[in-house]
A and B are shown apart, each in its own frame.
Chain A
């Protein structure tokens, strides 16, 4: 039986709470896909979460033009991707719990 709970927890804790070049606040906001103040970074993060295939060179260029370094963009994108996958996963786990009356 596969159990990714420990590995997922370690991943999430590292990208949100560990050292990074983007602020913890910005990484958390990207993960939650809410509360990002800067518009280019917010747009990029929203696209990563909801329509990653539509991210363009221009989206990344605009995030850079906002003053973010490539390392900061890398971290923000990772947090946005893991955050959305986490919401999907948690939703599905809750649905499974409801279906099996474990919830």
Chain B
């Protein structure tokens, strides 16, 4: 972490919670939890609500689809921490790790539905170029995606374009696969609240 306050500046109660998490998971406190737990009234508590609604709110997209979108946006942003974190959740949600790996390595050839592929394509362009056009949206609609599904995907895009920037700027250290497995289990069971 590039800011010491994000490593050691938490309140006593939050530090106690971190100790409990370390004990329960036998893994270091996730960097994301440290960020969200630092002065939560300023950012973390509000960001958790945005992210929970985007990732677990009612949607025609499955949890696995939305976790794959999160991993995909993170891949376009080259955010290693978030790619690994959300690949692990998507793999567990789908029960299909190879599908997630295939989508992230070659979107056009991956064994995913055309509506999901078109949506990921649009999210990728938005993330890379900061904007998309009405024609880009027409292409997604033509693939059979509803307007509401596009809005739902944009909510995921908003959350992870924010989180990726913070993870990269604050230099989250990237733990081993066991830590991400523990995180994936928790996020599937409890969401982002």
Interface positions of A (Cβ within 8 A of B): 1-4, 7-8, 10-11, 14-15, 18, 20, 44, 47-49, 52-53, 55, 57, 60, 70-71, 73-75, 77-78, 80-82, 84-89, 91-93, 95-96, 98-100
Q: Does B155 contact A4, Cβ atoms closer than 8 Å?
A: yes
Cα–Cα, bound, A1→B58 (Å): 5
B130 nearest CB neighbor, chain A only: A88
Q: Are B150 and A96 in touch, CB under 8 angstroms? A: yes
Q: Are A96 and B137 in contact (CB under 8 A)?
A: yes
Q: Which residues of B contact A89 (CB under 8 A)?
A: 154, 157-158, 161
The residues of B that contact A86 with a CB separation of less than 8 Å are 158
Given contacts A70-B4, A99-B141, A100-B141, contact A11 B50 (CB under 8 A): yes
Binding site secondary structure of chain B: helix
Measured between beta carbons, the chain B residues less than 8 angstroms from A71 are 5, 39
Q: Is the CB of A2 within 8 A of B58?
A: yes
Majority secondary structure, A binding face: helix
Of B14-22, B84-92, B166-174, B182-190, the stretch lying at the interface with chain A is B166-174
Q: Would you give the shortest CB distance from B153 to chain A, in whole angstroms?
A: 9
**Chain B residues in 8 Å Cβ range of A7:** 46, 49-50, 53
- A8 — which chain B residues lie within 8 A by C-beta? 50, 158
**Residue in B closest to A44 when the chains form the complex, CB atoms:** B169
Give min CB distance, B134 to chain A, whole Å. 4
Least CB distance from B48 to A in Å reads: 9
Given the complex, which residues of A lie within 8 Å of B141, measured CB to CB?
99-100
Given contacts A85-B162, A91-B131, contact A53 B2 (CB under 8 A): no
Query: Would you give the shortest CB distance from B97 to chain A, in whole angstroms?
Result: 25
The answer to the question of B102 belonging to the interface, with a C-beta cut-off of 8 Å to chain A, is no
Interface size class of B (residues with CB under 8 A): 35 or more
Interchain nearest-CB distance for B36 vs A (Å):
11
Determine which of B4, B53, B161 lies in contact with A84 in the assembled complex, contact meaning CB atoms within 8 Å.
B161
Are the CB atoms of A100 and B161 closer together than 8 Å? no
List, in ascending order, chain B residues with CB within 8 A of A70's CB. Answer: 3-5, 9
Please state if B158 and A4 are interface contacts (CB–CB under 8 Å). yes
A57–B166 CA distance with the chains assembled, in angstroms: 14
A-chain residues with CB within 8 Å of residue B4 when the two chains form the complex? 70
Pairwise interchain contact B77-A95, C-beta atoms closer than 8 A: no
A48 in contact with B169 (CB, 8 Å): yes
B-side contacts of A20, CB under 8 Å: 42
B132 within 8 A of A: yes
A4-B155, A89-B157, A91-B132 known; A60+B3 contact, CB < 8 A: yes
Tell me, in angstroms, the Cα distance from A86 to B158 when the chains sit together: 7
29 contacts between A and B (CB under 8 A): A2-B152, A3-B57, A4-B50, A4-B53, A4-B57, A11-B47, A11-B50, A48-B165, A52-B165, A55-B169, A60-B3, A74-B38, A77-B170, A81-B166, A84-B130, A84-B161, A85-B159, A86-B158, A87-B130, A88-B157, A88-B158, A88-B161, A92-B126, A92-B131, A95-B136, A98-B134, A99-B137, A99-B138, A100-B137
